[in-house]
């Protein structure tokens, strides 16, 4: 009876060989975790717990965790692609943002990359925010962060992707990398990458 | 009931993975928030904290001792923490006795720094406690 499962027609499904390729790829790139799908709060918490357990929770890994949470919550709240996840969060079915998030390491850095579909309007907003962040020095970033936090503290919607971006930029050791890739339906795929140096730079 | 308003209930919320422990003692005026904070909707969680604090500040005259023992908080929780601090600061500026303790772990300077950033805009003095 089991044979029909083993030798069945996989059609467009991922074949064993592809899966081995994916496995090798994930191993070689030192991927700590990779997730594609609806990032509900429950998923976020589980992935975050996994991330914390991957390494001694030192200052660097704690920042990595913080960046992961901000990126994942931005997908959850703002992705233009959503799925309705039953019994998420407060117990009722609700739309949850879909995206992809990858945490990995290179020889010198820890990396968090997140990608999701954004609307035209979001694209303009994100581009402005990212450019403003790019031009800012650490002192200005701190000022932007404090201004935005103050501005948003009494709003009924306490989310605010802007504050998350500023926080990510302040926690990262290098300028944020971002990319907007147009997709056929007129929207875009937004990718954001933050890097944290594994070792403290000593002579800079 | 006397004018210290001991008729108020305590606010006690146990910690979850994503919300901090909240222990607000209306009899002693010792209020504590401890743990991690990154709920999906921060305001939904903190609304009850704001309401309790407003009642406690408005209906009693007890000195307030506030302990923040946070380990990790996300940006939307950070807005809510600012909200709490501003309420305490306003009470302090109106003459209420308020002592504020910001606890951090020895190996976690980031939490200390985030406390220092909150303190910059407030009249209320932060007492930093290293563990």
Q: Let me know: does A169 contact A135? Beta carbons within 8 Å.
A: no
Q: Which residue of B17, B40, B105 is the best one to mutate when testing the A interface, meaning the one whose CB has the most A CBs within 10 A?
A: B40
Asked whether residue B7 carries a pLDDT value surpassing 90, the answer given is no
Instruction: Give the fold, CATH level 3, of B11-109.
Output: Transcription Regulator spoIIAA (3.30.750)
pLDDT digit string (tens) for chain A, length 204 residues: 444 444 445 556 667 778 999 999 999 999 999 999 999 999 999 999 998 887 777 888 899 999 999 999 999 999 999 999 876 555 678 889 999 999 999 999 999 999 999 999 999 999 999 999 999 999 999 999 999 998 876 654 544 568 999 999 999 999 999 999 999 888 999 999 999 998 876 544
Q: Let me know: does A137 contact A144? Beta carbons within 8 Å.
A: no
* ipTM metric: 0.90
- Res A85: pLDDT: 81
Place of tokens 């302990």: B67
A60 and chain B in contact, CB less than 8 A: no
Q: Where are the domains of chain B?
A: 11-109
Nearest CA distance, B106 vs chain A (angstrom): 11
Residue A63 per-residue DSSP state: H
In A, which residues are within 8 Å of B115 by CB distance? Answer: none
In A, which residues are within 8 Å of B72 by CB distance? Answer: 62, 65-66
Q: Let me know: does A166 contact A145? Beta carbons within 8 Å.
A: yes
Contact B72 A65 (CB under 8 A): yes
From edge to edge, which strands make up the β-sheet containing B98-104?
A: B11-13, B21-24, B30-37, B64-73, B98-104, B126-130
In B, which residues are within 8 Å of A41 by CB distance? Answer: 18, 39-40
- Res A11: pLDDT: 56
Give whole-number Cα distances, B105 to A150, A191, B117, in Å. 26, 34, 17
Residue A150: how many CA atoms within 13 Å on its side-chain side? 12
Please give the structure tokens belonging to residue A100. 């992809």
A41 and chain B in contact, CB less than 8 A: yes
Angle of helix A138-152 relative to helix B75-93, nearest 10 degrees?
A: 70
Contact A153 B108 (CB under 8 A): no
Contact B86 A153 (CB under 8 A): yes
- Res A28: pLDDT: 93
Over range B59-88, report the average pLDDT: 96
Q: Which helix (H) or strand (E) holds A93?
A: strand A92-105
In A, which residues are within 8 Å of B86 by CB distance? Answer: 153
Rounded CA gap, B32 and B23, in Å? 5
Asked whether residue B120 carries a pLDDT value surpassing 80, the answer given is yes
- Res A5: pLDDT: 47
Q: Residue A125 class from Cβ within 10 Å (0-12 exposed, 13-18 middle, 19+ buried)?
A: middle
Smallest CA-to-CA distance from B91 within B116, B64, B126 is with B64
End-to-end CA distance of chain B: 39
Closest chain A residue to B120, measured at CA: A146
In A, which residues are within 8 Å of B82 by CB distance? Answer: 149-150, 153
Tell me the longest C-alpha to C-alpha distance in chain B. Answer: 46
Q: Which residue of B77, B79, B113 is the best one to mutate when testing the A interface, meaning the one whose CB has the most A CBs within 10 A?
A: B79
Q: Residue A44 class from Cβ within 10 Å (0-12 exposed, 13-18 middle, 19+ buried)?
A: buried
End-to-end CA distance of chain A: 65
């Amino acid at each position: 009876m089991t044979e029909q499962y083993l030798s069945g027609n996989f059609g467009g499904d991922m074949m064993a060989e592809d899966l081995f390729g994916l496995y090798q790829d994930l191993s070689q790139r030192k991927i700590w975790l990779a997730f594609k799908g609806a990032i509900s709060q429950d998923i976020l918490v589980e992935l975050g717990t996994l991330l914390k357990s991957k390494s001694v929770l030192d200052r660097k890994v704690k920042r990595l965790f913080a960046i992961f949470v901000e990126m994942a919550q931005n997908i959850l709240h703002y992705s233009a692609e959503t799925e309705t996840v039953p019994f998420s969060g407060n117990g009722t079915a609700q739309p949850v943002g879909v995206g992809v998030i990858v945490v990995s390491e290179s020889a010198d850095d820890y990396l968090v990359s997140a990608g999701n579909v954004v609307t035209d309007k979001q694209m303009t907003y994100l581009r402005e925010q990212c450019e403003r962040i790019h031009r800012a020095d650490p002192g200005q970033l701190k000022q932007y962060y404090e201004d935005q936090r103050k501005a948003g503290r009494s709003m009924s919607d306490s989310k605010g992707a802007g504050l998350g971006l500023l926080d990510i930029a302040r926690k990262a050791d290098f300028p944020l990398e971002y990319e907007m890739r147009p997709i056929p339906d007129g929207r875009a795929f937004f990718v954001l990458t933050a890097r944290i140096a594994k070792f403290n730079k000593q002579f800079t | 009931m006397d004018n210290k308003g001991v008729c108020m209930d305590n606010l006690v919320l146990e910690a979850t993975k994503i919300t901090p422990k909240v222990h607000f003692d209306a009899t002693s005026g010792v209020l504590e928030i401890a743990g991690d904070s990154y709920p999906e909707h921060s305001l939904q969680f903190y609304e009850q904290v704001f309401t309790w604090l407003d009642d406690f500040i408005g209906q009693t005259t007890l000195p307030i001792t506030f302990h923040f023992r946070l380990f990790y908080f996300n940006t939307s929780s950070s807005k809510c923490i600012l909200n709490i601090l501003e309420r305490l600061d306003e009470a302090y500026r109106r003459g209420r006795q308020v002592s504020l303790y910001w606890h951090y772990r020895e190996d976690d300077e980031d939490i200390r720094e985030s406390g220092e950033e909150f303190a910059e805009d407030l009249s209320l003095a932060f007492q930093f406690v290293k563990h």
